[in-house]
């Protein structure tokens, strides 16, 4: 489609929407202040910016100092309310490319032609914490994508967990009140490990399924680049013939789904609370563009009732083995934002921003979401014109009779701002469905108005058990430990006991083991008898790749001259070796060559790396050995691959780690690199005895 008009800062005249359209639009708003004269906001050149205007050098500041007043007033108003949920987020620009046409299912233009590229903007987030909270919180992650399509903005506002805590949006304020820090003391920050959250869960057992995900490794991802995304709610595709399919949306990370361990997550929050945003930012800056494949699960309308769960229930997933995920495209994030406030903070998502061919279902959580998102932007972004902010503008023209309001930027010319009219030829005018006008799917409804929940929504445990059954042994241990940690932080024994009884409804063994850790006895029985499992749910079945993994290379003075070749080979295999030593600057090799040091033991820590490579050094000090030993032991306890060569084996031996699972000491040269890369691709060695 050709965008044939310039609309208040829209894209250039007569230009087809392509992958660069959004960037070109944003370019009109970018300002580079470098090498310019300092002015006030009125454009007045300023001669002095160090001192306020005073009555005498030691006298009071004068009210007439308009420069001081403007500067200070602007500063005083620089903050806006943070998002009530998903406050801590980080975003990037990218492009979505379609592989396979979805034309049989939807008429959405950006999903018709293989090879078609659409600009996107993606914001990842944690849910519970404030804007400044640590990013390794045990929490769901938001995964919100704005597609700037030729038919308007389409927002896919999802999470990295495919189900939700509640079935009806009316309970969302209750859930979030229980989840957020407790109101009497505002503790704890960005954590579910407190009484009100678990009291809510135990008394609203529809949360059983999501809480299993939230206590699993999914809630502590290694990277935004290594987690799945899910639209969660059931949406509807409508094709050109008006036929409808139910659809669930998926993002599958090309690098696979990987997590850190809980002890590591807590330490990272202290060592580098920006760990996830730094990872995303640096990956894009280094050209390691994060990639996610786009998939859909489709159910024909006539098959709506063929499943042993209600497909509109947002606490249920559609097992991939029953309803396969059809991969139809790929998103690549290839550009960091220029300004976090202007873009990441001001972006406004809304699951109700759809294009023709994508529609809603009666999923009662989705229905409530359709109200909440616009409402929240009104307070957060200060009025009804947030769609005019550069990051939110569609790349196609928009015309209507809406006018005025705080911060209005568009200058709508003419005197007509109403429909119907004769003075402007009755324009802007609605267009027919055939011409691209959005028409809601004409679902037949024959019902009474009731405040009720469908009987088909009342099984809260079968899929929680399905999730548990699908976990590998190490994943089960992590879940048991997570419940034990979280409930162990609850002060009320009654809350702990109630949750334990809820767990007994999911799996008695799970409940018993958590009970043992808490010193409590399970009273109830296992309600469910679901023996099904879904291999797609286990992270052990994900893709294993070494790409972009960070290796801490522990090097002291006097390293072997052949080290450089090994480091090059590790880089050639897609990993990122970084040199850590006991001092900054460079270390000197036995042949006099210099190796720049990236970090010292003071500024780096094993939790910030995926693997450790230990190299000998003749001039090692006892302090070096102490620091390196701590580094290696901690990496070992976090199940990470460890390699040693050029005499580094000696330290591994002293630590009694030689021959342990995932510890490589016996090989050299190319064989060492190949074996080490395989270990790194394996991510972790869960069966290691620690
Ligand atoms: Fe929501 C933000 C995802 C249920 C109300 N939500 C928000 C964001 C994501 C999600 C990723 C952050 C967007 C951004 O980065 O700016 N929310 C979900 C998912 C849900 C869900 C996957 C379950 C299917 N949300 C949900 C319900 C309600 C809300 C049931 C209320 C009825 N969500 C909001 C909100 C937020 C929001 C209050 C806060 C900031 C914002 O919208 O822009 O409107």
Tokens for 654, please give them. Answer: 């002293």
Structural domains of the chain, count: 3
Please check whether residues 563 and 508 belong to one and the same domain.
no
Q: Which of 512, 540, 568 is the last residue of a domain?
A: 540
- Tell me: pLDDT of 301 over 50: yes
88 lines ligand 1 (CB under 6 A): no
The predicted pLDDT at position 530 comes to 83
SS3 299: strand
Is residue 500 situated within a structural domain? yes
What is the distance in A from the centroid of ligand 1 to the CA of 392? 17
- Tell me: pLDDT of 169 over 50: yes
Contacts 24+ apart (CB under 8 A), 114-118: 117/18, 117/19, 118/17, 118/19, 118/147, 118/148, 118/149
Residue 5's pLDDT band (cuts 50, 70, 90) = very low
Q: What is the spatial distance between Cα 633 and Cα 629, in angstroms, rounded to a whole number?
A: 6
What is the distance in A from the centroid of ligand 1 to the CA of 372? 8
Please check whether residues 158 and 282 belong to one and the same domain.
yes
Counting from 1 in the atom list of ligand 1, the atom nearest the Cα of 85 is: 39
pLDDT tens-digit series, residues 75-112: 999 999 999 999 999 999 999 999 999 999 999 999 99
Is residue 581 situated within a structural domain? yes
Counting from 1 in the atom list of ligand 1, the atom nearest the Cα of 143 is: 11
End-to-end CA gap in the chain: 60
Is residue 24 situated within a structural domain? no
pLDDT tens-digit series, residues 237-294: 999 999 999 999 999 999 999 999 999 999 999 999 999 999 999 999 999 999 999 9
Of 138, 132, 149, 146, the C-alpha closest to 179 is 138
84 lines ligand 1 (CB under 6 A): yes
Burial 133-154 (b: 16+ CB within 10 A, else e): bbbbbbbbbbbbbbbbbbbbbb
Tokens for 338, please give them. Answer: 């220029």
Atom 15 of ligand 1, nearest CA residue: 123
Q: What is the spatial distance between Cα 203 and Cα 496, in angstroms, rounded to a whole number?
A: 12
| Helix 473-488 × helix 262-271 angle, to 10° | 60
Is residue 345 situated within a structural domain? yes
Please check whether residues 592 and 483 belong to one and the same domain.
no
Is residue 368 situated within a structural domain? yes
Atom 40 of ligand 1, nearest CA residue: 83
Q: What is the spatial distance between Cα 513 and Cα 661, in angstroms, rounded to a whole number?
A: 27
What is the distance in A from the centroid of ligand 1 to the CA of 247? 19
The predicted pLDDT at position 12 comes to 40
Task: Burial-class residue 358 by CB neighbours within 10 Å (0-12, 13-18, 19+).
Answer: buried
103 lines ligand 1 (CB under 6 A): no
- Tell me: pLDDT of 537 over 80: yes
CATH number, residue 667: 3.40.50.880
Please check whether residues 484 and 580 belong to one and the same domain.
no
What is the distance in A from the centroid of ligand 1 to the CA of 230? 13
- pTM for the model: 0.96
Of 359, 166, 156, the C-alpha closest to 246 is 359
Of 247, 323, 314, the C-alpha closest to 457 is 314
230 lines ligand 1 (CB under 6 A): no
Peptide bond just before 607 cis, omega within 30 deg = no
Q: What is the spatial distance between Cα 635 and Cα 645, in angstroms, rounded to a whole number?
A: 17
DSSP state of 93: E
86 lines ligand 1 (CB under 6 A): yes
Is residue 302 situated within a structural domain? yes
Tokens for 374, please give them. Answer: 């616009």
Counting from 1 in the atom list of ligand 1, the atom nearest the Cα of 232 is: 24
349 lines ligand 1 (CB under 6 A): yes
Q: Sign of the C-alpha dihedral, residues 193, 194, 196, 200?
A: positive
365 lines ligand 1 (CB under 6 A): yes
Please check whether residues 526 and 554 belong to one and the same domain.
no
- Adjacent-strand bridge partners of 300: 245
The count of other CB atoms within 10 Å of the CB of residue 269 is: 18
pLDDT tens-digit series, residues 105-133: 999 999 999 999 999 999 999 999 999 99
Burial 662-680 (b: 16+ CB within 10 A, else e): bbbbeeeeeebbeebbebb
Q: What is the spatial distance between Cα 518 and Cα 493, in angstroms, rounded to a whole number?
A: 10
DSSP state of 222: S
DSSP for 346-394, please give it. Answer: T----TT---TTEE----HHHHHHHHHHHHHHHHHSSSTTGGGSGGG--
89 lines ligand 1 (CB under 6 A): yes
157 lines ligand 1 (CB under 6 A): yes
The predicted pLDDT at position 669 comes to 84
Please check whether residues 163 and 111 belong to one and the same domain.
yes
The predicted pLDDT at position 623 comes to 79
Strands 89-98 vs 326-336: parallel, antiparallel or unpaired? antiparallel
Atom 27 of ligand 1, nearest CA residue: 369
- Tell me: pLDDT of 20 over 90: yes
The predicted pLDDT at position 624 comes to 83
| Helix 172-179 × helix 195-203 angle, to 10° | 150
The predicted pLDDT at position 4 comes to 40
Q: Is residue 595 within 8 Å of residue 580, measured between CB atoms?
A: no
The predicted pLDDT at position 625 comes to 86
Q: Is residue 89 within 8 Å of residue 123, measured between CB atoms?
A: yes
Q: What is the spatial distance between Cα 354 and Cα 665, in angstroms, rounded to a whole number?
A: 56
Of 279, 335, 325, 322, the C-alpha closest to 610 is 279
Q: Sign of the C-alpha dihedral, residues 499, 501, 504, 508?
A: positive
- φ and ψ of 581, to 5 deg: -145, -175
Is residue 216 situated within a structural domain? yes
Contacts of 178 (CB under 8 A, 6+ apart): 196, 197, 199, 200
What is the distance in A from the centroid of ligand 1 to the CA of 217? 22
Q: What is the spatial distance between Cα 134 and Cα 124, in angstroms, rounded to a whole number?
A: 14
CATH number, residue 533: 1.20.1370.20
Region 657-680: mean pLDDT is 94
Atom 11 of ligand 1, nearest CA residue: 142
Helical H segments across 604-668, by residue range: 622-637, 649-654
Residues designated catalytic: 86, 159
Please check whether residues 556 and 526 belong to one and the same domain.
no
Q: Which of 347, 374, 401 is the last residue of a domain?
A: 374
Atom 19 of ligand 1, nearest CA residue: 158
The predicted pLDDT at position 512 comes to 96
Which residue among 80, 81, 83, 371 has the greatest number of ligand 1 atoms within 8 angstroms of its CB, and so is best to mutate?
83
Which residue among 209, 224, 251, 372 has the greatest number of ligand 1 atoms within 8 angstroms of its CB, and so is best to mutate?
372
pLDDT tens-digit series, residues 577-605: 999 999 999 999 999 999 999 999 999 99
- φ and ψ of 157, to 5 deg: -105, 90
Q: Which of 483, 516, 540 is the last residue of a domain?
A: 540
The predicted pLDDT at position 595 comes to 96
- Tell me: pLDDT of 11 over 70: no
Percent helix, strand, coil in the chain (nearest 5)? 30, 15, 50
Tokens for 104, please give them. Answer: 């049989």
Boundaries of domain holding 613: 544-681
The predicted pLDDT at position 6 comes to 40
Strands 550-554 vs 576-581: parallel, antiparallel or unpaired? parallel
Residue 617's pLDDT band (cuts 50, 70, 90) = low
The predicted pLDDT at position 531 comes to 87
Of 163, 273, 181, 268, the C-alpha closest to 218 is 163
159 lines ligand 1 (CB under 6 A): yes
Atom 28 of ligand 1, nearest CA residue: 369
Please check whether residues 265 and 144 belong to one and the same domain.
yes
E-strand ranges in 113-257 read 117-126, 141-149, 152-159, 229-230, 235-238, 244-253
What is the distance in A from the centroid of ligand 1 to the CA of 195? 23
Residue 15's pLDDT band (cuts 50, 70, 90) = low
CATH number, residue 276: 2.40.180.10
233 lines ligand 1 (CB under 6 A): yes
Atom 9 of ligand 1, nearest CA residue: 142
Contacts 24+ apart (CB under 8 A), 438-443: 438/354, 438/355, 438/356, 439/356, 440/359, 441/236, 441/238, 441/242, 441/244, 441/359, 443/244, 443/362
Please check whether residues 482 and 531 belong to one and the same domain.
yes
Counting from 1 in the atom list of ligand 1, the atom nearest the Cα of 373 is: 44
Region 137-161: mean pLDDT is 98
What is the distance in A from the centroid of ligand 1 to the CA of 351? 8
Rounded percentage of the chain residues whose pLDDT exceeds 70: 97
Please check whether residues 263 and 286 belong to one and the same domain.
yes
Tokens for 432, please give them. Answer: 């027919």
Q: Sign of the C-alpha dihedral, residues 599, 605, 607, 611?
A: positive
Q: What is the spatial distance between Cα 598 and Cα 584, in angstroms, rounded to a whole number?
A: 7
Q: Is residue 279 within 8 Å of residue 273, measured between CB atoms?
A: no
- Tell me: pLDDT of 443 over 80: yes
121 lines ligand 1 (CB under 6 A): no
Is residue 84 situated within a structural domain? no
Counting from 1 in the atom list of ligand 1, the atom nearest the Cα of 377 is: 43
Length of the chain, in residues: 690
Please check whether residues 564 and 626 belong to one and the same domain.
yes
Please check whether residues 629 and 669 belong to one and the same domain.
yes
What is the CB-side half-sphere exposure of residue 138 using CA atoms within 13 A? 26
Q: What is the spatial distance between Cα 417 and Cα 241, in angstroms, rounded to a whole number?
A: 35
Counting from 1 in the atom list of ligand 1, the atom nearest the Cα of 368 is: 32
What is the distance in A from the centroid of ligand 1 to the CA of 518? 34
| Helix 563-572 × helix 669-681 angle, to 10° | 40
What is the distance in A from the centroid of ligand 1 to the CA of 82? 13
């Amino acid at each position: 489609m050709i965008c044939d008009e310039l609309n208040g800062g829209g894209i250039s005249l007569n230009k087809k929407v392509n992958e660069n359209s959004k960037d070109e639009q944003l370019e009109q708003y970018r300002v580079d202040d470098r090498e310019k004269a300092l002015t006030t906001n009125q454009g007045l050149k300023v001669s002095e910016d160090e001192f306020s205007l005073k009555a005498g050098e030691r006298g009071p500041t004068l009210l007439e100092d308009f420069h001081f007043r403007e500067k200070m007033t602007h500063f005083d108003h620089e903050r806006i309310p943070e998002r009530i949920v998903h406050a801590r987020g980080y975003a990037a620009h990218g492009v979505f490319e379609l592989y396979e046409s979805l034309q049989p299912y939807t008429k959405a233009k950006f999903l018709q032609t293989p090879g078609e590229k659409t600009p996107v903007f993606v914001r990842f987030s944690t849910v519970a914490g404030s804007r400044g909270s640590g990013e390794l919180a045990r929490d769901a992650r938001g995964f919100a994508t704005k597609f700037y399509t030729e038919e308007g903005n389409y927002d896919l506002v999802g999470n990295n967990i495919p189900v939700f805590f509640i079935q009806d949006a009316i309970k969302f304020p209750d859930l979030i009140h229980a989840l957020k820090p407790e109101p009497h003391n505002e503790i704890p920050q960005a954590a579910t490990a407190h009484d009100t959250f678990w009291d809510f869960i135990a008394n609203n057992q529809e949360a059983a399924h999501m809480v299993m995900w939230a206590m699993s490794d999914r809630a502590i991802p290694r990277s935004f680049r290594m987690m799945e995304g899910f639209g969660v709610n059931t949406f509807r595709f409508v094709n050109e013939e008006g036929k409808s399919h139910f659809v669930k949306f998926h993002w599958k990370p090309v690098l696979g789904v990987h997590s850190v361990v809980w002890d590591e997550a807590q330490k990272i929050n202290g060592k580098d609370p920006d760990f996830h945003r730094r990872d995303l930012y640096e990956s894009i800056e280094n050209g390691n563009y994060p990639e996610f494949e786009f998939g859909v699960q489709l159910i024909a309308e006539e098959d709506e009732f063929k499943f042993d769960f209600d497909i509109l229930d947002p606490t249920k997933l559609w097992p991939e083995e029953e309803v396969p995920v059809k991969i139809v495209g790929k998103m690549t994030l290839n550009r960091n934002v220029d300004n976090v406030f202007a873009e990441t903070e001001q972006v406004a998502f809304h699951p109700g921003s759809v294009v023709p061919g994508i529609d809603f279902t009666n999923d009662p959580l989705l229905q409530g979401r359709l109200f909440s998102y616009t409402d929240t932007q009104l307070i957060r972004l200060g009025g009804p014109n947030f769609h005019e902010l550069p990051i939110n503008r569609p790349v196609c023209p928009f015309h209507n009779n809406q006018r005025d309001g705080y911060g209005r930027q568009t200058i709508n010319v003419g005197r007509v701002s109403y429909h119907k009219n004769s003075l402007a030829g009755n324009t802007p005018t609605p267009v027919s469905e055939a011409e691209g006008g959005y028409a809601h799917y004409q679902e037949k409804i024959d019902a009474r108005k009731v405040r009720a929940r469908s009987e088909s929504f009342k099984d809260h445990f079968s899929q929680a058990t399905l999730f548990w059954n699908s976990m590998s042994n190490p994943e089960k241990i992590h879940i048991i430990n997570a419940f034990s940690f979280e409930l162990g932080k609850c002060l009320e024994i009654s809350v702990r006991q109630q949750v334990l009884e809820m767990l007994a409804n999911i799996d008695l063994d799970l409940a018993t083991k958590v009970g043992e850790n808490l010193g409590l006895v399970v009273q109830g029985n296992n309600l469910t008898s679901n023996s099904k499992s879904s291999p797609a749910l286990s992270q052990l079945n994900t893709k294993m790749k070494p790409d972009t993994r960070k290796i801490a290379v522990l090097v002291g003075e006097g390293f072997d001259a052949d080290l450089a070749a090994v480091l090059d080979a590790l880089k050639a295999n897609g990993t990122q070796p970084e040199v850590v030593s006991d001092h900054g600057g460079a270390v000197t090799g036995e042949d006099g060559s210099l190796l720049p040091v990236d970090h010292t033991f003071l500024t780096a820590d094993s939790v910030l790396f995926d693997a450790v490579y230990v190299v000998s050094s003749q001039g090692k000090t006892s302090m070096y050995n102490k620091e390196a030993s701590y580094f290696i032991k901690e990496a070992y306890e976090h199940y990470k691959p460890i390699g040693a060569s050029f005499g580094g084996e000696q330290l591994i031996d002293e630590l009694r780690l030689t021959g342990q699972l995932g510890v490589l000491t016996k090989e050299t040269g190319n064989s060492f690199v190949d074996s080490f890369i395989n270990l790194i691709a394996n991510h972790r060695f869960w069966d290691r005895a620690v």
